[in-house]
Chain A
Amino acid sequence: MSVKYIPVQWNRSKWGYDAVLLLGVGLFLWIFIHIAPGLLNHERPINPPIRNARAYGACAFVMLTIILCIGPLARLDRRFLPLLYNRRHFGVMTAAVALSHAYFVLGWYFSAYQGATRWETVLFANTSYGQALGFPFESLGIFALICLLILAATSHDFWLKFLTPPVWKAIHFLIYPAYAALVGHVALGAFQARGNETLAVIFTGGALLVVGLHIWAALRERTRATPATDWVAMGPASDIPEGRAKIALLPSGDRVAVFRHEGQLSAISNACAHQNGPLGEGRILDCLVTCPWHGFQYDVRTGQSPAPFTEKVPTYRLKLEGDAVFVDPDPNPPGTPVDPVPAPAGTPAQEAPA
C-alpha cells in the first residue's frame, strides 16, 4: 500500500478539528488582550509587545497542557480518541503560538543591548543559574521552545516512516521534558508576579491536572497489565465482539490486538506498519482489519496487506483454556500466517457504540 506524500492529509474531520482549534486560539488571545485586563492584571499600563508576549505565552501553556491531557484521557475513556488522532495539528499550532511568544519577547524585553544582538542579549542578560529566586527562566523557555519546534517539524508522515516508529516515538518523548521546562519557565518567571492570581490559578491547576491524569491513567493501565509469563492472559473470549478486537499491553510494552472474525480469533500487532496507528481500534471489513488512521488494511490471519500491497505487521500465537484467551508475547516476523483459533460457543460481547 503505497501512498505518495502530500503536504497535509486533510479530510473533513481534520478540517473541523483545525477550525475549532483556530477559533479557540483566536478567542483565547482576544479575551486575554481585550476582555480581561482586570482579571489578568493588565490595568497597569503596558505596551502592546508585552501584552502580546503574555497573551501568546499563556495560550501556548494552555495548549500544551491540553495536549498532555489528551493522551491519558484517551486511555481512560475511548470517547477522547478523536482528539488523539488529530493531536499532531494541535502540536504544530502550539509550536507556532510559542514561537510568536518568543518573537514578542525578543522584540521587547531583549532589544539590542550595547552592541550585542538580541539573541546574545537573551543569553547573557541574566546568568544567575545558582539560585531559584531570580533564576534565568528564559533558558527553560528556550529549551521548551526548541523541543516544541522539533516535535512540530518532525510531525509529517515522512518522518515517522524515515526515522522509524521507535526513533520517532523516542524523539516525541521530548514532549515531557518540554512541559517540565515550560512549568519551570512559568513558575520561576511570570508566576512570581503577585497580583496576577487568575493566571496563577490557571497555571497551577493546569500543571496539576496533567500530573494527576498521567498518574491515574498509568495506575489503571498497570492494574490491567499482566506479569511476564510464557503466555499472557487476555480475559474471556466472550469479551471480544464480532468484527472487533481487544487490545492488551504485553510485558515488552508493545500492544497486541486479538480479533474475532466469523467466530475465530486471531492476533496481530496493534501498531500499523504505516504510522503505528491503533489497528485494534479498527473494524474488520471484507475480511481485513482497517486502520482507523489512514485506512491501511491487513488480513488478521497473516498480518499481510492484500495484494498488490506489501505492508506487513507481526502476528501472535493464541491458545484457549476454556473461555480464557492467552497470547504468546513473542511476536512472529511480520506477515507470518497463523491459524485462527475457533472461539468457544457462546455469545460474544456486543460492539461498543462508536
Chain B
Amino acid sequence: MTATAIIALAQGYCVIGVIVALIFLTVGMDRIDEDARGAYAFRPLLIPAILLIWPLVLWRWLREETGAASWQGRHSPPRAAHGVAAALMAVIVVITLATGFTIRQTWPADRAPQLLVAPDGGSEASQ
C-alpha cells in the first residue's frame, strides 16, 4: 500500500514536471535568458532536470521575473560549506565501512558442499 502510494506520488510529481517543462521551455526561458533566445537544440536536454527539480525551477523563474536576485549572491558560491560536507561524508563512510565489516558473516559457500540424500535412503553422504 505504501509502495503503491510512493509510486503514485512520484508519477504525479513527474506529470507536473512535464507541464512545467513545456511552459518553461517554450515561454519562460526566452523571457529570462538572452543566451537562450534563438537557441533550441539544447532545450530537450533540459527536460530531465525540470522533471527532477521543477519546484526549484519555478522558484528561480519567479526570482528572475521579479528581479529579486542580488549580485552578491551570484558571486558567492557556498564554498565554505564544502569542507563540512566532505567531512560529514568521510565520517559516514568510515562508520558505514566499520558496520559492513562488523556484520559480515561467514557465507556457507566457504564450506565444502554436502549432498543430502532422501530421508528413506538412510544416512547423509558427502559429495
What residues of chain A have their CB less than 8 Å away from a CB belonging to chain B?
2-7, 44, 116-117, 119-121, 123-124, 132-133, 146, 149-150, 152-154, 156, 158-159, 161-167, 169-171, 173, 176-177, 179-180, 183-184, 186-188, 191-195, 204, 207-208, 210-211, 214-215, 218, 221-222, 252-255, 269, 271, 273, 276, 313-314, 331, 333-334
Whether the Cβ atoms of B78 and A156 lie closer than 8 Å is: no
By beta carbon, the residue of chain A nearest B99 is: A132
Cα separation A156 to B35 with both chains bound (whole Å) = 13
Whether the Cβ atoms of A253 and B103 lie closer than 8 Å is: no
Q: A195 and B107 in contact (CB under 8 A), knowing A163-B60, A167-B60, A333-B71?
A: yes
Residues in chain A near residue B2, CB distance under 8 A = 123-124
Q: In the assembled complex, how far is the CB of residue A304 from the closest CB belonging to chain B, in whole angstroms?
A: 13
Residues in chain A near residue B51, CB distance under 8 A = 153
5 A-B contacts, Cβ less than 8 Å apart?
A152-B48, A159-B49, A162-B33, A166-B77, A269-B75
Which of these, B76, B90, B92, contacts A215 with CB under 8 Å?
B90
Residues in chain B near residue A6, CB distance under 8 A = 39, 41-42
Q: A173 and B49 in contact (CB under 8 A), knowing A158-B33, A187-B97, A214-B89?
A: no
What residues of chain B have their CB less than 8 Å away from a CB belonging to chain A?
2-4, 6-7, 32-36, 38-39, 41-42, 45-46, 48-49, 51-53, 56, 60, 64, 69, 71-83, 85-90, 92-94, 96-97, 99-100, 102-107, 109-110
Cα separation A246 to B99 with both chains bound (whole Å) = 44
Q: A169 and B77 in contact (CB under 8 A), knowing A5-B39, A149-B48, A192-B103?
A: yes
Whether the Cβ atoms of A150 and B74 lie closer than 8 Å is: no
By beta carbon, the residue of chain B nearest A192 is: B104
By beta carbon, the residue of chain A nearest B41 is: A7
Which of these, A166, A273, A333, contacts B78 with CB under 8 Å?
A166
Q: A176 and B35 in contact (CB under 8 A), knowing A183-B96, A253-B81?
A: no
Whether the Cβ atoms of A173 and B81 lie closer than 8 Å is: yes
Q: In the assembled complex, how far is the CB of residue A4 from the closest CB belonging to chain B, in whole angstroms?
A: 5
Q: In the assembled complex, how far is the CB of residue B7 from the closest CB belonging to chain A, in whole angstroms?
A: 5
Whether the Cβ atoms of B3 and A276 lie closer than 8 Å is: no
Whether the Cβ atoms of A7 and B4 lie closer than 8 Å is: no
Residues in chain B near residue A314, CB distance under 8 A = 75
Whether the Cβ atoms of A313 and B75 lie closer than 8 Å is: yes
Q: In the assembled complex, how far is the CB of residue A308 from the closest CB belonging to chain B, in whole angstroms?
A: 13
Cα separation A164 to B63 with both chains bound (whole Å) = 11
Which of A121, A165, A171, A269 has the largest count of B CB atoms less than 10 A from its CB? A165
Residues in chain B near residue A162, CB distance under 8 A = 32-33, 60, 64
Cα separation A338 to B107 with both chains bound (whole Å) = 69
Beyond A165-B77, A334-B75, 11 extra complex contacts between A and B, CB < 8 Å? A4-B36, A5-B36, A6-B42, A119-B3, A132-B99, A133-B103, A153-B48, A162-B64, A171-B53, A218-B83, A254-B76
Residues in chain B near residue A271, CB distance under 8 A = 75, 77
Whether the Cβ atoms of A187 and B3 lie closer than 8 Å is: no
By beta carbon, the residue of chain B nearest A173 is: B85
Cα separation A119 to B4 with both chains bound (whole Å) = 9
Cα separation A4 to B36 with both chains bound (whole Å) = 6
Whether the Cβ atoms of B45 and A7 lie closer than 8 Å is: yes
By beta carbon, the residue of chain B nearest A185 is: B96
Q: A165 and B97 in contact (CB under 8 A), knowing A193-B107, A218-B87?
A: no
Residues in chain A near residue B78, CB distance under 8 A = 166, 169-170, 173, 253
Which of A180, A210, A255 has the largest count of B CB atoms less than 10 A from its CB? A180
Whether the Cβ atoms of A124 and B48 lie closer than 8 Å is: no
Q: A167 and B7 in contact (CB under 8 A), knowing A154-B49, A158-B36?
A: no
Q: A4 and B39 in contact (CB under 8 A), knowing A123-B6, A183-B96, A254-B76?
A: yes
Which of these, A117, A170, A180, A254, contacts B92 with CB under 8 Å?
A180
Whether the Cβ atoms of A204 and B97 lie closer than 8 Å is: yes
Which of these, B3, B48, B71, B80, contacts A120 with CB under 8 Å?
B3
